A and B are shown apart, each in its own frame.
Chain A
Amino acid sequence: GAGVSQSPSNKVTEKGKDVELRCDPISGHTALYWYRQSLGQGLEFLIYFQGNSAPDKSGLPSDRFSAERTGGSVSTLTIQRTQQEDSAVYLCASSRRPRGQVGGNEQFFGPGTRLTVL
């Protein structure tokens, strides 16, 4: 079946411009996550959506970052007034609803969007 898709795969923008990154999760997955991966680093949690619940935005690095999820499916991550330190790979993942505390949540990742801010 189709996996998580993201677009664009690459985005080059100028400092100060706004960018929108899109994520299409796996059909039926109610949980959606955004991460950021800088060069040589692990993944940094940004935001989490679960169904119609209020999202967990605790990982967003500044108020220039926002995300929405329409109709419980597609999500858009928006970065306003981009800065050079925003350059990274932005990864989206989806999963079934996490089960309890120990059950865990296998996350399925998209290929990512490589953002370069000049």
Chain B
Amino acid sequence: SQQGEEDPQALSIQEGENATMNCSYKTSINNLQWYRQNSGRGLVHLILIRSNEREKHSGRLRVTLDTSKKSSSLLITASRAADTASYFCATVLRGGSNYKLTFGKGTLLTVNP
């Protein structure tokens, strides 16, 4: 079964709005990563947050991690049409192999111009 589950499955917003995607997972993790996939650039790593971190920023991206709730959120501010893509969370499980990423099924984000 999937370790990470993204919510919502699909999200449609207007350019300039913020987009928030959530990820829940079942077992303890060492770190959680967010990836983006679109037809033009394939699957691209966006940001990594460690289990001892609560929030990270990278440009227009903000990621939070709540290990007590086993959840993470990805916020994209001031969205652009080019942000249209599928977004996946992936976890490295605590006590497991430090290389193995377990991906969720993704959130499909559509940013309308």
Contact = CB atoms under 8 A, between A and B. Distances in A.
Interface of A: 31, 33, 35, 40-45, 48, 50, 56, 91, 93, 95, 98-112
Contacts of A41: 105
A42 B99 contact: no
Interface of B: 2, 4, 30-31, 33, 42-45, 48, 50-52, 88, 90, 92, 94, 97-106
Contacts, number: 71
A104 B42 contact: no
A11 B84 CA distance: 27
A42 B2 CA distance: 8
Given A109-B44, A110-B42, A104 B31 contact: yes
Contacts of B52: 102
